[in-house]
Amino acid sequence: MATALSAPPRTKAPGPSNTTTPRLFAMIPVLLAALLVYFPSARQHLFGSHDAHPTVRIKQGIVVGKLLDDGKIPAPVEGFLGIPYALPPINDLRFRPAVPVPKGNGTLEAFYMGPRCPGKQMVPFLEDSLLGPDAESEDCLTINVFRPHGHDTSRAKLPVSVLIPGGAFNRGAARMHNTYTMLAHSPEPFVAVSMQYRIGVFGGLNTELTEKEGLLNLGLRDMYAALEWVQENIADFGGDPDDVTVMGLSAAAHGIGHFIMDAKQPKKLFHKAIMDSGAHTARTIHSPSSALNTQHFRDFLDLTPCGHYKDLGDPDILGCLRALSSETVDRAGKDVFARSEPSVRWAWQPVLDGHIISRRPLDAWKSGNWNKVPMLTGSTHNEGANYVPKTANASADFIDFFSTLLPHLTKSELAELEALYPDPATDPTSPYADQMLATLGAGAQYRRIEAAYGHYAYTCPVRQTAIWGSSNSPPDPPVFLYHWVLNRTALLGAVHGDQMRYQTYNSEVRGISAAQDEVSGKFHAYCVSFITKGDPSALKKGRFAAREEWTPWKDGRPSTMVLGEGNDERAGGTGKGTAAQMQDYTWGEEQCNFWWRVSERWED
């Protein structure tokens, strides 16, 4: 009897958090052969791509998918869900690099997404019964493949997108992003992929000990393992391994940025990149031995039965941690992350590792030696809204927040920072003065801190990608920049991650109004055009074929596609705004110059 995809039986990970039922099953090849001989029509039923259960043979075995149709998409999509790209990272494989599933002849019923990786979730997941029930488990290294229904894989191969979910490297899952809806509404066919990787402490236990053991940046390495799986198998689904667009929001965009800088890649794993609200120059990239990482590791151990180890370099620590239940490790990792949240000096972040991140991010840009791929990137207007203290009220709260977040800043730089973001308590003309904040439950300093943090962590690093990515030599691929300003709530504005539901043309946003439909439809059209043509304006099909031309950032000119400007319908207003408009957009330029200048000293 063959086991599915040649993987060993999936043993249950220690602890009650692993509640998934086995998805792999064995079959008897003789019975299948007899069925095909005596019932020829069964061949089409079992293996035909026009049936409700399309089947694909990959190097690891046979994958049986299903049709996805929620009644809100133009045509059904074929989905192959929850395919393991690595062995379960449990027991002795916990805190180790992903181990690829070996070749074989087993069969997998790929009908539902696999469980998400343990993490401190924040963004609501899609409520879609077609994807299967939501669950959490360490056994989470899975990939999902979606393709147009009835696609003939013997014909020309289709472009491929690979969605990496974001979430501060501590949260996120494939079911955050409605990947099959994005594909279904595209006027040009492609093969869409989504994947999952280890997050939180399971993917980011980056310390001197794990550096010594060669175990740094496991979450990023999982992403690479998934991209390698795509290179190996996507042609069997009808996709072109030489035309892959990698895409993701927030932490995923940070990771993609690091991959673009990783000039040591032995094989080109992607050829275009969409990076939403994130860049590899965002925040500080520490060394594994930094004081911050050391403190996080110490705090983590003290929350587990392994806290008796006093020497943080003792290799027996890893054996102790591998013997613990999944729930114990997960709870301790989440507690440490929760402690780090108020300061936004988050735990379990990527570090300099000598491999994927071999150089400081800005040094990598300056070298000119990076993977030259076309990029589409952008940020929202209120990136910091969900991450800063909403009750900050006193003027001193502003300086306290940034002194804690960035202890490298000198007194003169803090004074300059205060001047760049005028205090609403002393300057009634400050753009951050808002008399409505009290009625919305926020402090008087909230908008000021939000703007400064949003610039520092997202907007300015994203703009840095446009500047450095287009400033080396004329033959370099283009960079397309956007700014998302559609106002979703009266307090938060255009929040980090708001653009995701619009990008996939989700019914929950396009059905709000005609104006919302237009913003979503045009943004979706730009993105699928980039995926299929390498240019957001090249695809001239579908309802939104007549959208405005999106020109790349060039020669320092801040050519930016501004999306949803003036639309405040969801925030209780009546403004319809403009769905999409090219502008020489200089918002935040002075502030970004400050952040770029001082950021060169932050890596330790």
- The residue annotated as part of the active site, out of 250, 326, 529, 537, is 250
Could you report the per-residue pLDDT of 121-137, keeping only the tens digit for each? 766 677 788 988 999 99
Return the pLDDT at 309. 96
Total-model pTM: 0.90
Residue 219: predicted pLDDT: 98
Residue 275: phi and psi, rounded to 5, are -125, 105
Q: Give the model's pLDDT for residue 425.
A: 94
pLDDT of residue 435: 85
CA distance 102 to 86: 9
Say yes or no: 93 and 240 in one domain. yes
What percentage of the chain reaches a pLDDT higher than 90? 78
Write out pLDDT tens, residues 460-507: 999 999 999 987 566 779 999 999 999 999 999 999 999 999 999 999
For residues 366 and 218, state if they share a domain. no
Q: Is the pLDDT of residue 3 over 50?
A: no
How much is the pLDDT for 11? 36
Domain boundary among 215, 249, 283: 249
Distance between CA atoms of residues 505 and 184, nearest Å = 10
Answer yes or no: is 522 within a domain.
yes
- What tens digit of pLDDT does each residue of 79-131 get? 999 999 999 999 999 999 999 999 988 999 999 999 999 988 766 677 788 98
**Residue 123: predicted pLDDT:** 63
CB neighbour list of residue 15: distance below 8 Å, 6 or more residues apart: 324, 325, 326, 327, 328
pLDDT for 283: 75
pLDDT for residue 31: 35
Quick one: 450 exposed, middle or buried, by C-beta within 10 A (0-12, 13-18, 19+)?
buried
Based on the structure, what is the number of domains in the chain? Answer: 2
Q: Same domain, yes or no, for 239 and 376?
A: no
- Regarding beta strands 24-25 and 107-109, do their DSSP bridges make them parallel or antiparallel, or are they unpaired? antiparallel
pLDDT value at residue 261: 94
User: Can you tell me the mean pLDDT for 269-284?
Assistant: 93
Residue 561 CB contacts under 8 Å (≥ 6 apart), including other chains: 378, 480, 481, 482, 483, 526, 536, 548, 550, 580, 581, 582
- Domain assignment present for residue 293? The answer is no
So what's the pLDDT on residue 474? 64
Is 110 inside a domain boundary?
yes
pLDDT at 150: 87
Range in 13-27, 237-251, 282-296 the model is least confident about: 13-27
- On the 0-12 / 13-18 / 19+ scale of CB atoms within 10 A, 266 is exposed
Q: What is the pLDDT of residue 5?
A: 58
> Is residue 268 situated within a structural domain?
no
What confidence score (pLDDT) does residue 440 get? 93
Percent of the chain at pLDDT > 70 equals: 90
pLDDT in the model for residue 585: 86
Rg of the chain over Cα atoms, rounded to whole angstroms, equals 24
pLDDT tier for residue 284 given thresholds of 50, 70 and 90:
confident
Mean pLDDT of 514-537: 98
**pLDDT score recorded for residue 34:** 37
Q: Is residue 495 part of a domain?
A: yes
Q: Which of 249, 275, 301 is the last residue of a domain?
A: 249
What is the predicted pLDDT for the residue at 581?
A: 97
What is the 3-state secondary structure of 57-90?
EECCEEEECEEECCCCCCCCEEEEEEEECECCCC
How many CB atoms are located within 10 Å of the residue 210 CB?
Answer: 22
What's the average model confidence in pLDDT over 319-347?
Answer: 95
Assess contact for 134 and 125: CB atoms under 8 A.
yes
Pick 581 or 126 by higher pLDDT: 581
In a domain, residue 33? The reply is yes
Evaluate whether residue 115 is within a structural domain: yes
Per-residue pLDDT tens for 12-68? 333 333 343 334 433 333 333 333 333 333 333 333 344 679 999 999 999 999 999
CA gap 412, 576 in Å, rounded: 43
Structure confidence at residue 563 (pLDDT): 98
**pLDDT number for residue 473:** 62
Query: Where in the sequence is the domain holding 488, given as residue range(s)?
Result: 361-599
Residues 444 and 576 both lie in one domain: yes
CATH assignment of the domain containing 29: 3.40.50.1820
User: Is it the case that residue 314 has pLDDT exceeding 60?
Assistant: yes
In a domain, 129, yes or no: yes
Last residue of some domain: 220, 249, 278? 249
Which among 290, 260, 255, 261 is positioned nearest to 276, based on CA atoms?
255
In this predicted structure, the answer to whether residue 336 has a pLDDT above a threshold of 90 is yes
Backbone φ and ψ for 414, nearest 5 degrees, come out as -65, -35
531: which residues sit within 8 A by CB, 6+ positions away?
Answer: 159, 161, 186, 190, 245, 247, 272, 274
Pick the more confident residue, 433 or 48.
Answer: 433
Written as one string, the DSSP assignment of 340-386 is HTTTT--SS--B--SSTT-S-HHHHHHH--S----EEEEEETBTTTT
Q: Is 513 part of the annotated catalytic residue set?
A: no
pLDDT value at position 475?
Answer: 73
pLDDT in tens, 152-169: 888 889 999 999 999 999
> Cα–Cα distance between 321 and 67 in angstroms, integer?
41
